[in-house]
Structure 1
């Protein structure tokens, strides 16, 4: 099975800047995340807000020598089909560009995503016949931006967007979803740690 990752970029109001470009341990957050994906997937689609953000991210990628090596998957940078329309449109944009049958979606502000999580997610999805697989915490809360989505979701997402809905969770009302415990996909649970406050960089 061809494996694909969709990375969703964005700007944080709390952080006051583009989270993918923030420096963590002397490296941009995006570079940390891309390094974790090395040798694990066939393609990476980076969904960004506009051409200005594409330019910033492309320069970042071009400046990192390890990302230019042959063993690293191809990275395709694309812009949202419409600007500032929320994560569901970002998912639609990403799925519209992939060659694989589906993709694991990750936010650009998750530098601690583990290689175990990536491998386990693709391993589990091969066993399933559902259109989506989403991590779930013991209290029932979900991690939709750490989930796997099949390309067959595209027309359903398009229909939902036409109704004015923008949240990825709204998709779950219309498709079969396999909810998998976060401890199964990542026993350490570090993959779900996001950078939402300045102190998270320390």
Structure 2
């Protein structure tokens, strides 16, 4: 039986490489953020969307999702990246586990997410269940224990800003991809982020 989870979707990026807001880009006629929210709602009853653009996204985010304004940090003029956005969302979560998603995962698949949920570890000292790629952890498409918040806050207060830096000092379990070659390809493809116009052409 799967434990209860919530979902946090991060939609606060600057989209500088794309040149326009990634969350509002339409894939098969549907904005990426709206599609991600719809899939998240199939996996969890409570979905939080962390963003610095509440007015822009309120028209595409389903009513069942909760928009969270990402506040600017002191002496900062721009949002401070996914780690800070995750901290803001995590403060609202009451379930034991949370699924963290970027808003720009055009190949997100709810059946794969369900299979991954079956791997959630019962061991309390494991704070995350994440896919791992050639460059390290894939932190924006994986599961975290909500009681990792103190560790995150401490890391941030010490000047840390990157997920990879935080995860390097944490106990993380690797998501095991399927032994079936076709399913494994789907799992790997699901981690594709749409960051640039060239990426967009690959899925268009």
Where does 1:68-83 land on structure 2 (aligned, <5 Å)?
74-82=64-72, 83=78
Where does 1:145-156 land on structure 2 (aligned, <5 Å)?
145-156=140-151
> Aligned to 1:85, what secondary structure does the other structure show?
coil
> Aligned to 2:33, what secondary structure does the other structure show?
helix
Task: Give the Cα separation in 1 of the matches to 2:40 and 2:81.
Answer: 25
RMSD: 2.0
Task: Give the Cα separation in 2 of the matches to 1:16 and 1:142.
Answer: 26
- 1:35 pairs with one of 9, 34, 38: 38
User: Is the helix fraction higher in 1 or 2?
Assistant: 1
- 2:132 pairs with one of 113, 136, 156: 136
Contact kept, 8 Å, 1:2 with 1:42, in 2: the verdict is no
Task: Give the Cα separation in 1 of the matches to 2:175 and 2:113.
Answer: 14
Contact kept, 8 Å, 1:95 with 1:102, in 2: the verdict is no
Contact kept, 8 Å, 2:107 with 2:189, in 1: the verdict is yes
Report how far residue 182 of structure 1 moved: 4.5
Task: Give the Cα separation in 2 of the matches to 1:131 and 1:81.
Answer: 26
Report how far residue 90 of structure 1 moved: 1.2
TM-score scaled to structure 2, two decimals?
Answer: 0.82
Q: Deviations over 1:131-184 (max 9, x none)?
A: 1111013x4632111121111111111111111110011222332111224557
Q: Which runs of 4+ in 1 moved over 6 A?
A: none
- 2:51 pairs with one of 48, 51, 57: 48
- When residues 182 and 196 of structure 1 are mapped into structure 2, their CA distance, relative to the original with a 3 A threshold, is farther
Task: Give the Cα separation in 2 of the matches to 1:48 and 1:34.
Answer: 13
Aligned residues: 187
TM-score scaled to structure 1, two decimals?
Answer: 0.83
Contact kept, 8 Å, 1:114 with 1:190, in 2: the verdict is no
Where in structure 1 are there 5+ consecutive unaligned residues? 62-66, 69-73
- When residues 143 and 182 of structure 1 are mapped into structure 2, their CA distance, relative to the original with a 3 A threshold, is farther
> Aligned to 2:194, what secondary structure does the other structure show?
coil
Name the residue aligned to 2:8.
6
Where in structure 2 are there 5+ consecutive unaligned residues? 73-77
